[in-house]
Structure formats: C-alpha cells, structure tokens
Amino acid sequence: MNWHAVRVIYKFEMLRAWHTLLQTILSPVISTSLYFVVFGAAIGSRIEQVEGVSYGAFIVPGLIMLSLLTQSISNASFGIYFPRFTGTIYEVLSAPISFYEILLGYVGAAASKSLIIGTIILVTAGFFVELRIAHPLWMLAFLILTCVSFSLLGFIIGIWADSFEKLQLIPLLVITPLVFLGGSFYSVEMLPPAWQTVTLFNPVLYLISGFRWSFFEVADVSVGLSLFMILLFLAICSAIVWWMFKSGYRLKQ
C-alpha cells in the first residue's frame, strides 16, 4: 500500500475544503439552524412529542443525515469530476498507485469532510434542543458507514457525470426527496397504513431509523435491518467502483 500517495490525495482534497470553507462548512450549518428555527417554531409548537421524544430533538438525526448524504455525495463527486474535467486525472491514473489507493484518498477525504460537518451540526443542535445519545458507539458507527457509503456513491456520480449539471442531478432529484420522505421529520407510524408500506421501499428510511435509534432507542425498523441495509449499499457501491476502474469506464476516454 502506497500510503504516501494516499496521503497526498487526501491532503489535497482536505485543503480544497479549507479554501472553500464558507461553502463546505458554514453553509450546511446555517441551513440546519434555519431548519430548527422553522420546524421548531412552526411544527414543534403543534407536535410536542413523537414516540416520547420532543419534536425538536426527534428531527436532529434526520437533519444530520440530510446534510451527511448531500455533502458526502457533493464532496466525492466534485473531487473526482474536476480532475476529469481538467485532464489531470490521467496523471493520477498513470502514477504507480493502485485503484484502491486512489479510492482511499478521494473517498477518505470526502467522508472526513462529511463527518466533520455532521459533528458540527450535532454540536449546533445542542444549542437548540436538549440531546441525549443512548448509544454513542452505534451513533459513530452509523455516521462513519453513512459517510463512506455515500462518498462512494458520489465517487460513482463523479465518474458517470459528463457535465457540472449532472453532478447535482441525483442529489437534488433523488437523494433529497428520499431523505424528506424517509422519516426525517416524522415517524412512519404517523402515516396511513398504505403509505407506511410504500415508505419501507425507501432505502434512506433504514439509515435514519438506525441513526435515530442510537440517540433515543426508538426506530421505525429494526436496528439489525438498518445495519444490514447500509452494509449492503456499501458493498454495492464498492463493486460498482471496482468495475469502473477495471473497465476504465469514462476514465480512459
């Protein structure tokens, strides 16, 4: 394993985030704070508790997941797309490093940035609501698995996309709606039976449910199923990335 190459790619991507600090860090934090103000005032005044948890605290895991998913995809997709756009990706591909080392550098940096953002949002949430974390190790595990999984998805999107517009296509039209419809701001039990069944086909539901369980020990689906779904998604994304590098899909054109 060429750790020097991994460190160079990782450091470069992390420095890029530092140069765009306002967009990378402050923007999601401000957006999340506005969610607390709007939802806490408008809905929290009408819904005091959900499954024994205050509404303001109940939506915290969903808000963190919303930022984690979008930021992981955005950071990873832009990180690999920009070298393709400028042509510098060929220098990376011709270097004596394996695809695992390239992947570890780019995805590791994207996941690290998302993890930092998630931690900052969690601290910010503490200023608005009283939080308790029943299972901190499980919470950290779900955070890391989510960041890595969706950074891999972003990496796939960055290789697939052939324009800057396509980089935002899946996060805006697919991921964000799935998060909002995956129990971010409500419990699935609050829905009519037919819609509860439909919601179970939303993969994001399992991420949010497992993550919320680590906070309040309440979940819409079993924790084991949530963990299985995120590991399955991680395996699928890893297999797709392996195939892209093996076949040279949009990397050697």
Q: What is the pLDDT of residues 172-201, one digit of tens each?
A: 888 888 888 888 888 888 888 888 888 889
Residue 252 in domain: no
Give residue 151's pLDDT: 94
- For helices 136-160 and 223-247, give the axis angle rounded to 10 degrees: 30
Q: pLDDT at residue 97 above 70?
A: yes
If one compares 48 and 207, the residue with the highest pLDDT of the two is 207
**Global pTM value:** 0.90
Q: pLDDT at residue 44 above 80?
A: no
% the chain with pLDDT above 90: 33
Give residue 228's pLDDT: 95
Tokens of 120: 């900052």
Q: pLDDT at residue 76 above 80?
A: yes
Residue 64 in domain: yes
Give residue 198's pLDDT: 87
Range of the domain at 124: 3-247
Domain count, the chain: 1
121 phi, psi to nearest 5 deg:
-65, -40
Residues 209, 226: contact at Cβ < 8 Å? yes
Rounded to the nearest angstrom, the gap between the alpha carbon of residue 5 and the centroid of all alpha carbons in its chain is: 25
What region, left, alpha or beta, does residue 51 occupy, with left being phi > 0 and alpha being psi -120 to 50 degrees?
left
Give residue 138's pLDDT: 94
Residue 82 in domain: yes
Q: pLDDT at residue 215 above 90?
A: yes
Residue 8 in domain: yes
Q: 22 pLDDT band (50/70/90 cuts)?
A: low
Distance CA 46, CA 59 (A): 14
Give residue 127's pLDDT: 82
Give residue 107's pLDDT: 93
Residue 128 in domain: yes
Distance CA 70, CA 151 (A): 9
Residues 78, 107: contact at Cβ < 8 Å? no
Give residue 40's pLDDT: 65
Render pLDDT for 132-187 as a digit per residue (tens, 0 to 9). 899 999 999 999 999 999 999 999 999 998 888 888 888 888 888 888 888 888 88
Residue 100 in domain: yes
If one compares 46 and 232, the residue with the highest pLDDT of the two is 232
Residues 6+ apart with CB under 8 A from 233: 149, 203
Residue 187 in domain: yes
Distance CA 65, CA 182 (A): 10
Q: Which residue in 204, 69, 232 sits closest to 240, CA to CA?
A: 232
Residue 253 in domain: no
